[in-house]
């Protein structure tokens, strides 16, 4: 079975990836956390067949299963949900060695992961991500946590799982828009680290969108590898881990500005017609790459490969409304009137390579936002 080992200075674990693996979840958990009881904390949005497969697999392996179902949204990624997880675990007297199995998308794995990190000061955690984003991003790296009204992911911990169990077959039920959003992070991984994988995407993006099993498994495997490689080099994000932010400084500004349509409460859900995170990341990567081209940091051919790939993945490459440049600049804490207003950005230097540039001027960023609004001879 393809596994990706994660070797950290103080902890080693494996990410197991195989089609159909959900039906063998019990063995996977027993290998790392043998015990009489287990808690299955699962995403209410997950199709019943996946939940039943996981539950039965744990019972078959002899676990008495405490089953908790949790509705997921950014608003419910909260300390209240963590509290209801604690109550479930306390009610069934789960012990120090009872594993918590987190089954669902990134919202569920972040929230249940935080509950596992703090219940009895930490119990064995097995992550079972079921969205592409959770597989290639949220469940690798050890970050768990929740939102508070003051902002997203402000409360959390670094807490490594005992194992990550990935069954790419569960992606066949994922809404296409969620699949596309996960693909944005995959394109990001290729852009920051691996030109050969970028070419793989150019050759396989349609196979992935058609949910071809071999393509999905291969996609997940190399993406976990890249994320793991970056995280292993830099577990607590001082340096290299910043490369994962490629496209994200622009994306976060888009998300912040559109989030204001929601009453402005940080940690809330964005309005229904707004860009999802992966879509904002796609736009952010285009903005960052355009900027790098116009500053002479990268060859134009990189943009000419990135934009078509994003389009084929069904991701936006232009803002659909004229950009609210002032609001976007404010969201980036930039003031174009202040001469020394500058920002650190991760920018491409080639396909498969990025660098951190510490001193990008506000005027240059503003130009990138204007170009993202279109009118440069292309449309979305
Ligand atoms: N910890 C980290 O390092 C990290 C990294 C990136 C993102 N995140 C977090 O991840 C979250 C986003 O995760 P997401 O994109 O997985 O969104 P999500 O958790 O909202 O899941 C998307 C939707 O898909 C449903 N779903 C899940 N699996 C399914 C399946 N197999 N079939 C059908 N439906 C399914 C969910 O119920 C949900 O409605 C954010 O809160 C973000 O902060 C964390
Ligand atoms: Zn992201």
Helix (H) or strand (E) holding 315: none
What local confidence, expressed as pLDDT, does residue 361 receive? Answer: 87
Report which of 322, 317, 376, 368 is spatially closest to residue 180, judged by C-alpha positions: 317
Does position 375 have pLDDT exceeding 70, yes or no?
Answer: no
Q: Which of 174, 206, 233 lies at the terminal end of a domain, its last residue?
A: 174
Is 380 domain-assigned?
A: no
Mean pLDDT over the full length of the chain: 92
Within 10 angstroms of residue 93's Cβ, the number of other Cβ atoms is 9
Query: Exposure of 340 by Cβ count < 10 A (0-12 exposed, 13-18 middle, 19+ buried)?
Result: exposed
Q: Which of 174, 206, 225 lies at the terminal end of a domain, its last residue?
A: 174
Is 14 domain-assigned?
A: yes
CATH number of the domain residue 204 falls in: 1.20.1090.10
What's the 266 CA to ligand 2 centre distance in angstroms?
17
Is 145 domain-assigned?
A: yes
Structural domain boundaries enclosing 37 = 3-174
Q: Which of 174, 208, 228 lies at the terminal end of a domain, its last residue?
A: 174
CATH number of the domain residue 144 falls in: 3.40.50.1970
Pair (149, 196) in one structural domain: no
Q: Quick check: is 188 catalytic?
A: no
- Helix/strand/coil for 320: coil
Does position 236 have pLDDT exceeding 90, yes or no?
Answer: no
What local confidence, expressed as pLDDT, does residue 237 receive? Answer: 60
Helix (H) or strand (E) holding 245: none
Pair (216, 138) in one structural domain: no
Pair (111, 210) in one structural domain: no
Pair (184, 163) in one structural domain: no
Pair (81, 219) in one structural domain: no
Beta strand 3-8 pairing with 11-17: antiparallel
Pair (239, 349) in one structural domain: yes
Helix (H) or strand (E) holding 272: none
Tell me which residue has its CA closest to atom 36 in ligand 1: 45
Beta strand 151-158 pairing with 143-148: antiparallel
The pLDDT confidence band at residue 75, using thresholds 50, 70 and 90, is very high
Residues 35-50: tens digit of each pLDDT: 999 999 999 999 999 9
Distance CA 18, CA 142 (A): 21
Burial 22-52, CB ≥16 within 10 A → b, else e: bebbbebbbebbebebbbbbbbebbeeebbe
Residues 313-371: tens digit of each pLDDT: 999 999 988 888 999 999 998 766 666 777 899 999 999 999 999 888 889 999 999 99
Whole-Å CA distances, 300 to 101, 198, 345: 46, 16, 18
Pair (89, 218) in one structural domain: no
Count how many domains the chain has.
Answer: 2
Pair (167, 189) in one structural domain: no
Is 33 domain-assigned?
A: yes
What local confidence, expressed as pLDDT, does residue 121 receive? Answer: 97
To test the pocket of ligand 1, the residue of 178, 228, 275, 279 to mutate (highest count of ligand atoms within 8 Å of its CB) is 178
What distance, in Å, lies between the first and last C-alpha atoms of the chain? Answer: 41
Distance CA 167, CA 47 (A): 14
Is 120 domain-assigned?
A: yes
Which among 56, 237, 295, 355 is annotated as catalytic?
Answer: 237
Is 82 domain-assigned?
A: yes
């Amino acid at each position: 079975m393809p596994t990706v080992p994660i070797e950290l200075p103080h902890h080693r674990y494996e990410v197991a990836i195989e089609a159909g693996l959900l039906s063998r979840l019990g063995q996977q958990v027993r290998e790392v956390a043998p015990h009489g009881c287990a808690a299955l904390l699962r995403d209410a949005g997950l199709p019943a067949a996946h939940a039943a497969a996981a539950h039965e697999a744990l019972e078959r392996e002899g676990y008495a299963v405490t089953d908790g179902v949790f509705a997921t949204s950014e608003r419910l990624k909260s300390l209240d949900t963590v509290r209801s997880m604690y109550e479930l675990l306390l009610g069934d007297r789960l012990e120090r060695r009872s594993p918590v199995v987190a089954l669902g998308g990134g919202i569920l794995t972040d929230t249940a992961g935080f509950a596992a990190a703090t219940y009895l000061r930490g119990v064995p955690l097995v992550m079972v991500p079921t969205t592409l984003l959770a597989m290639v991003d949220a469940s690798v790296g050890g970050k768990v946590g929740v939102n508070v009204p003051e902002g997203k992911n402000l409360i959390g911990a670094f807490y490594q799982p005992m194992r990550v169990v990935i069954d790419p077959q569960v992606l066949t039920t994922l809404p296409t828009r969620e699949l596309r959003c996960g693909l944005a992070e995959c394109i990001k991984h290729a852009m920051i680290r691996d030109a050969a994988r970028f070419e793989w995407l150019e050759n396989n993006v349609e196979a992935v969108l058609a949910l071809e099993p071999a393509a999905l498994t291969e996609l997940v495997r190399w993406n976990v590898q890249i994320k793991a490689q970056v995280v292993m080099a830099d577990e607590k994000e001082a340096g290299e881990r910043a490369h994962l932010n490629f496209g994200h400084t622009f994306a976060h500004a888009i998300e912040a500005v559109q989030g204001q349509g929601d009453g402005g409460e940080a940690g809330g859900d964005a309005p229904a017609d707004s860009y999802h995170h992966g879509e904002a990341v796609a736009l952010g990567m285009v903005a960052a790459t355009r900027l790098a081209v116009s500053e002479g940091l990268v060859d134009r051919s990189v943009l000419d490969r990135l934009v078509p790939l994003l389009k084929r993945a069904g991701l936006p490459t232009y803002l659909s409304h004229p950009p609210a440049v002032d609001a976007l600049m404010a969201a980036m804490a930039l003031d174009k009137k202040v001469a020394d207003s500058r920002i650190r950005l991760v920018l491409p230097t080639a396909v498969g390579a990025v660098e951190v540039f510490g001193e990008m001027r506000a005027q240059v960023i503003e130009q990138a936002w204007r170009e993202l609004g279109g009118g440069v001879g292309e449309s979305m």
